[in-house]
């Protein structure tokens, strides 16, 4: 049986197995809790005010699960407020019209750690941890954080293991936001094969350019794109900084939204470096001597506004 790490807190690692039951392994006591598909506990109900179903903290006073951006009611199998993204419903996805639904009615195969969108277990959809097993196997209180995770190591996903979730989120932003799509080329270049979503897939598969991870330290930045073939035709190297301090928004912090933002930012430079792509509406290069990195800050802000509705908090320089 495979066990997937879904998320973790200072006190517990939340696990998902292929029998489709979500469970939690306490960092300190080793207690395992099991749930029915929509989050009701199986057997003896354990104490609340701790992380439970789907990484949510269950409130003792109300019985509601805190899902970061809204509350979830496990006895109803739905959220108590609608999806904050008002355009979540559409003819291409009829289930999306129900803006209260939990993972579009499929808790067996998906979860929603932030109360915003469906995520596949094991795809790296967790946020900034209080328990930082990226740098330590131990929770702040001294107990083992994720020793029960049956992954390739005793650590959460890193580097390429986080790529799939970031690609999915970036493509979601492209599909849902016309302003995001319009950052990259135009309708004519899309028809010629420079569709931004398909370009992301090519980057992930290695069929376009070379993607690599290197520890560049805290001052190098998050990622950079460089041409690997001159004249600029169809090959680039995308270097992602694998450094992580457990606090700032580096790739291996595991924040899917920020990683998707990184990919879209660098995708703009790929369009600017590739002949026939129609270029992007971002500014390349990111920095210029004397001027400094204000262009990079502007690009971060532009991608945030166009693709994430400003929710990531990047400021216009």
pLDDT(189) > 50? yes
4 pLDDT exceeds 80? no
Inter-residue contact 134 to 156 (CB < 8 Å): yes
Q: 10, 130 in Cβ contact below 8 A?
A: yes
pLDDT per residue as tens digits for the range 50-95? 777 777 888 888 888 888 778 899 889 999 988 766 555 655 567 7
From CA 310, how far away is CA 308, in angstroms rounded? 5
| pLDDT at residue number 230 | 57
| Residue 285 near residue 269 (C-beta atoms within 8 A) | yes
Looking at every residue in the chain, the average pLDDT score rounds to: 74
Assess contact for 63 and 110: CB atoms under 8 A. no
Condensed to tens digits (0 to 9), the pLDDT of residues 128-183 reads 333 333 333 333 333 333 322 223 333 445 787 788 788 888 999 999 999 999 99
pLDDT number for residue 193: 83
Contact 52, 65 (CB under 8 A): yes
State which of 4-13, 118-127, 198-207, 260-269 shows the largest mean pLDDT: 260-269
pLDDT given at position 123: 47
pLDDT in tens, 20-41: 334 444 444 455 677 788 888 8
pLDDT at 306 over 70: yes
| pLDDT at residue 266, as a whole number | 93
Ranked by mean pLDDT, which of 132-141, 158-167, 196-205, 266-275 comes out on top? 266-275
Q: What's residue 263's pLDDT?
A: 95
Confidence of residue 185 (pLDDT cuts 50, 70, 90): very high
pTM of the model: 0.53
Contacts of residues 79-87 at CB distance under 8 Å and 24 or more positions apart, as own/partner, are: 79/115, 83/116, 84/116, 85/116, 85/176, 85/309, 87/176
Say if residue 184's pLDDT is above 80.
Answer: yes
Q: What is the pLDDT of residue 212?
A: 86
Per-residue confidence at 46, pLDDT binned at 50, 70, 90? confident
pLDDT (tens digit, 9 = 90+) per residue, 213-226?
889 998 898 999 88
**pLDDT for res 85:** 61
CA atoms of 257 and 276, how far apart (whole Å)? 29
Q: Which of 180, 44, 40 is nearest to 56 (CA)?
A: 40
């Amino acid at each position: 049986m495979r066990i997937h790490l879904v998320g973790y807190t200072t006190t517990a690692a939340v696990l998902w197995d292929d029998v489709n039951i979500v469970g939690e392994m306490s960092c300190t006591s080793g207690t395992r809790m099991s749930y029915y598909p929509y989050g009701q506990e199986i057997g003896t109900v354990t104490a609340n005010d701790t992380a439970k179903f789907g990484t949510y903290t269950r409130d003792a006073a109300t019985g509601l699960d805190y899902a970061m951006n809204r509350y979830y009611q496990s006895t109803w199998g739905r959220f108590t407020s609608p999806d904050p993204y008002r355009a979540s419903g559409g003819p291409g996805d009829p289930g999306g019209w129900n803006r209260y639904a939990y993972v579009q009615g499929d808790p067996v195969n998906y979860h929603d750690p932030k109360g915003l969108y469906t995520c596949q277990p094991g795809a790296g959809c967790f946020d900034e941890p209080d328990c930082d097993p990226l740098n330590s196997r131990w929770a702040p209180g001294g107990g083992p954080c994720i020793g029960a995770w049956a992954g390739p190591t005793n650590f959460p996903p890193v580097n390429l293991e986080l790529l799939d979730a970031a690609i999915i989120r970036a493509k979601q932003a492209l599909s849902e936001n016309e302003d995001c799509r319009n950052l990259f080329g135009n309708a004519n270049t899309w028809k010629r094969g420079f569709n931004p979503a398909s370009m992301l897939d090519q980057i992930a598969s290695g069929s376009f350019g070379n993607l690599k991870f290197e520890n560049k330290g805290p001052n190098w930045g998050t990622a950079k794109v460089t041409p690997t073939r001159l004249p600029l035709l169809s090959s680039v190297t995308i270097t992602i900084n694998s450094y992580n301090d457990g606090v700032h928004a580096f790739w291996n912090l595991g924040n899917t939204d920020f990683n998707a933002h990184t990919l879209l930012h660098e995708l703009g430079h790929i369009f600017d470096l590739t002949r026939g792509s129609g270029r992007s509406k971002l500014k390349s290069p990111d920095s210029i001597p004397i001027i400094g990195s204000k262009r990079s800050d502007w690009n971060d802000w532009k991608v945030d506004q166009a693709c994430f509705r400003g929710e990531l908090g990047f400021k216009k320089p």
